[in-house]
Amino acid sequence: MALTDIALRNAKPMAKPYKLADEKGLYLLVTPSGGRLWKVKFRNNVGTEKKLSLGTYPEVGLKSARERRDEARRLLANGVDPAEQKRRDKHAAMIGASNTFRVVAKAYIAKNQRDGLAEATVQKREWFVRLVDKTLGNRPIAEIAPYEILDAVRPFEASKNDEKAHRTLQFIGQVFRYAVANQLAPSDATRDLRGALANRKPKHHAAILDPNKAGEMLRAIDGYEGHPSTRIALQLSALLFVRPGELRRAEWAEIDLNSYVWRIPATKMKARMEHAVPLCHQALVIHNP
């Protein structure tokens, strides 16, 4: 006989566990401690009798318990063991919860370091992680939808910092492709976002093209009365044409005064190749007053 809501509400604990049977293998197990557990009994494809837990009453009502039973029977009819499927789903949920975007992004950056990427590149990618950490950091990467990614980068677009928006989106895509390759996400959620962001023509900084104006700038640098190290850095920048970061991290051990060359080691270069910078006479004579 099928169970009724009245029979379920009147089920009281006894000295020993007992069952209230419904239909098609579904029953309610009442324990001495007062627990009321939905279970369904079935035989798998090799004939082994098994039991599947469907939740507790009254959190899972009679109608819901029957729906869960029917779903288990549908899986069984398709050759899928519902108990094994539940175990796999639980395992997948645990993996998803532990592999947030933040965790996967840090694992990706750690791989970059093992691959020998320049420290400046690694630091830039860590900066990207911080940019989207508030919106994406705690989200399981396998559950992140494309609209969430757009929500994370739209503020940069809204402030007309298109390059920042595009580069952040590019980095997110790199993290997703790493996740896909390591079976942590089913697909790259940024794949269909190409063209979603504005692509305004960049406004370049003003450049000095007149030789006379260039001379004025060099004289202004020579007359700079701020910190001496800043003046020297400005003078060297005009002579050596290196990146500000390369100049800032220069060390005396890299400079060969006999050969008039500054050799920036590969570890400091983005391309991971040593860069030789010729030193002109004007660069060699610059000093603190």
Domains of the chain: 5-80 (3.30.160.390), 101-193 (1.10.150.130), 211-285 (no CATH)
Question: If pLDDT is split at 50, 70 and 90, which confidence band does 129 have?
Answer: very high
CB–CB of 89/71 below 8 Å? no
Question: Given this model, what pLDDT does residue 289 score?
Answer: 53
Predicted pLDDT at 100: 93
pLDDT greater than 90 at residue 120: no
Question: Is the preceding omega at residue 244 within 30 degrees of 0, hence cis?
Answer: no
**pLDDT value at position 287?**
61
**Who contacts 118 (Cβ-Cβ below 8 Å, separation ≥6)?**
267, 268, 269, 270, 271, 272
High-pLDDT (> 70) share of the chain, %: 96
Worst-scoring range by mean pLDDT, 52-61, 177-186, 213-222, 265-274?
265-274
Residue 96 has pLDDT above 70, yes or no: no
Weakest mean pLDDT among 104-118, 233-247, 265-279: 265-279
Mean per-residue pLDDT over the chain, rounded? 89
How far is the CA of 17 from the CAs of 31, 32, 35, 60, 176, in angstroms? Answer: 4, 6, 9, 19, 49
Reported as a single tens digit per residue, the pLDDT across 195-206 is 899 887 766 777
272 has pLDDT over 80: no
Predicted pLDDT at 202 = 67
Confidence of residue 134 (pLDDT cuts 50, 70, 90): very high
Evaluate the CA torsion angle 175, 177, 183, 184 in order and state its sign: positive
Question: What pLDDT shows up at residue 83?
Answer: 87
pLDDT at 269 over 90: no
What pLDDT is stored for residue 255 in this prediction? 92
Question: What percentage of the chain reaches a pLDDT higher than 90?
Answer: 57
Query: Which parts of 149-282 are beta strand (E)?
Result: 255-256, 261-264, 275-278
Mean pLDDT of 83-107: 82
| Average pLDDT score over residue span 115-124 | 88
Q: What's the half-sphere exposure (Cβ side, CA atoms, 13 Å) at 6? A: 0
| pLDDT for the residue 21 | 93
Secondary structure in 3-state letters for 163-180: HHHHHHHHHHHHHHHHHH
pLDDT in tens, 68-81: 999 999 998 888 88
Mean pLDDT on 201-218? 82
**Average pLDDT, integer, range 249-266:** 91
8 Å CB contact between 101 and 141: yes
Alpha carbon distances (Å) from 140 to 133, 175, 192: 12, 13, 19
Q: In 3-state terms, what secondary structure has residue 277?
A: strand
Q: What is the pTM of this model?
A: 0.52
Residue 136 has pLDDT above 60, yes or no: yes
Long-range contacts, stretch 238-247, CB < 8 angstroms, 24+ apart: 239/280, 239/282, 239/283, 240/277, 240/279, 240/283, 242/277, 245/120, 246/275
